[in-house]
Amino acid sequence: MDVLVVGGGVIGLLSAMQLAVTGKVVGLVEAREAGRESSWAGGGIVSPLYPWRYSPAVTALAHWSQDFYPRLAEQLLAQTQIDPEVYVTGLYWLDLDDDADALAWAKREGRALRSVDMAAVQRAVPALAAGFGRALQMADVANVRNPRLVKALRAALQQMPNVTVHEQCAVSGFILDGGRITGVQTAQGDMQADQVVLAAGAWSGELMKTLGIELPVVPVKGQMILYKCAEDFLPAMVLANGRYAIPRRDGHILIGSTLEHAAFDKTTTEEALLSLKASAVELLPALADAEVVGHWAGLRPGSPEGIPYIGPVPGHEGLWLNCGHYRNGLVLAPASCQLLADLMLGREPIVDPAPYAPTGRLGLAG
């Protein structure tokens, strides 16, 4: 193989695709089932929850991805007949503490965020609870149906003759040859490749420890619940007090999410269920009479400031990182994977790669 991608979430799947379309022979290895971890569990808002609170490094990737997502969805639908459902609903932020910062950020970045009269919000979203005093809106924010997105990416890779996907195949370590990474060790035997991309989400830090490298990517559990309502129940995404409601086209409503440091435990809890149901009713009172049709947990790849690691690992030729996206893996995936491919192929990068480079950030000499 030219490239072996470790991790079958949206970052790994899209990394494999971006490299395979250039003719590279690509393998992808996933410990469980591709796309069923954090990528499946998330909400799919195609924006950081509070974009103005992030560094310019996150903003740069988010802007590129937001503009690219509709094209990606069209491409995947045409190729696989699976619709990722990029659904432009807009997003309302309610009763923020930092409205002024948000509006200043939007003006600086040229993003269409504006203050909206609450009476207009109530007319636009009749199901919204009364009592909120202020609102900001970004009308062009979409959400993507992330389980369908990863299913479409998986199907697209299956159609490519130069791609092989290995599922239920856990990676236990890397193969070193004179300081160069030449493959990985797995439960099904060694796999060799000219280049290895680590895109294992919350598990990336554990795998880097096998090389004696401390990569500060740790699991952060998030629990969500799902309701089924009428298709026109919620026409826009709403966010207040750190919790959000996301409508799907068919009337499903996602409510999320918790932030828990619980190592690799994905157990759902009654405490989180009650908390999420309370948040749901605070936002949308009619949900008090609706049945929860789903409750699950996923593990985000937590990282400092939520800035992903994208680029080569110094001192370990052949090893590349694309991990540590924290709460924004789905948001940042298209840009992150394009940037990785640019760097690996020696192309002009879409954004300045310096903020994401493992060199320096991991205390390793370049």
Q: List residues bridging with 113 in a β-sheet.
A: 138
Q: What is the pLDDT of residue 267?
A: 97
Residue 313 has a pLDDT of 97
pLDDT digits (tens, 9 = 90+) for 208-233: 999 999 999 999 999 999 999 999 99
What's the CATH superfamily of 91-139+219-302?
A: D-Amino Acid Oxidase, subunit A, domain 2 (3.30.9.10)
Whether the CB-CB separation of 12 and 30 falls below 8 Å is answered with yes
Q: Domain 3-55+147-216+304-361: which topology? A: FAD/NAD(P)-binding domain (3.50.50)
Q: Do domains 3-55+147-216+304-361 and 91-139+219-302 have the same CATH topology?
A: no
For 134-182, how does the pLDDT look when each residue is reduced to its tens digit (9 = 90+)?
Answer: 999 999 999 999 999 999 999 999 999 999 999 999 999 999 999 899 9
In terms of Cβ atoms closer than 10 Å to its own Cβ (0-12, 13-18, 19+), residue 246 is buried
- Is the peptide bond prior to 257 cis by the omega test (within 30 degrees of 0)? yes
What pLDDT score was predicted for residue 336? 98
Pairing of strands 195-198, 243-247: unpaired
pLDDT at residue 99 in the model: 96
Pairing of strands 142-143, 135-138: unpaired
Q: Where exactly are the structural domains of the chain?
A: 3-55+147-216+304-361, 91-139+219-302
